[in-house]
Amino acid sequence: MRIQYLGTGTAKGTPVASCSCSVCSIAREKGGKDARKGCSVLIEDDFLIDLTPHNQISDFIAGSEQRYILATTTGHEHFHAQTLQASLGASSSSGHLDIYGDAGLNNCFIQVPPSEQKKYVKERLVFHTLNLFKSVRIGMYMVTALPARHFRTAMVFLIEHAP
């Protein structure tokens, strides 16, 4: 299983613009490895965990006809609908995108301003609700959602190759 970390900062990245804590202050001062994008992981080339505002996912979207996104929570820092719309709008791929997360995930597009909504984008998206402790097959993986110690609806995932 090939894993690429696209970001290892907070969900908003590090440093956070309005934060003056020591971590953010050092990141602003030093830059480089101390300045990090929002937390996100790409598995193989078809499986993305969290879509932050900092993700450049045009290559991910354009790659093949079948792609998957897992959202650890429905907060816009973890599933950024505007980034998804922009990437899908610029892509020549016509494949659909399966998106997995909690029951509120489908409502993330309500937050997109009407001027930025692209109707054809929603037609390419298929939303799936994950239930805690229930394993589901997603492509060539078995994924089990587990509760995260973050806030009520946040999840982490156990990901294994499917038999």
List the domain boundaries for the chain.
3-9+38-161
Task: Supply the pTM of this predicted model.
Answer: 0.76
How far is 103 from 30, CA to CA, in rounded Å? Answer: 40
Indicate whether 69 pLDDT > 60: yes
Among 90-94, 97-101, 152-156, the range of highest mean pLDDT: 97-101
**Confidence band for 87, pLDDT divided at 50, 70 and 90:** low
Across the range 134-156, mean pLDDT stands at 89
How far is 67 from 139, CA to CA, in rounded Å? Answer: 9
Superfamily of domain 3-9+38-161: Ribonuclease Z/Hydroxyacylglutathione hydrolase-like (3.60.15.10)
How far is 146 from 3, CA to CA, in rounded Å? Answer: 20
How far is 81 from 149, CA to CA, in rounded Å? Answer: 24
Across the range 96-108, mean pLDDT stands at 81
More confident residue, 15 or 107: 15
How far is 134 from 132, CA to CA, in rounded Å? Answer: 6
In this structure, are residues 40 and 72 in contact, taking their beta carbons and an 8 Å threshold? no
SS3 72: coil
More confident residue, 99 or 122: 99
Instruction: Give the distance, in angstroms, between the CA of residue 2 and the centroid of all CA atoms in the same chain.
Output: 17
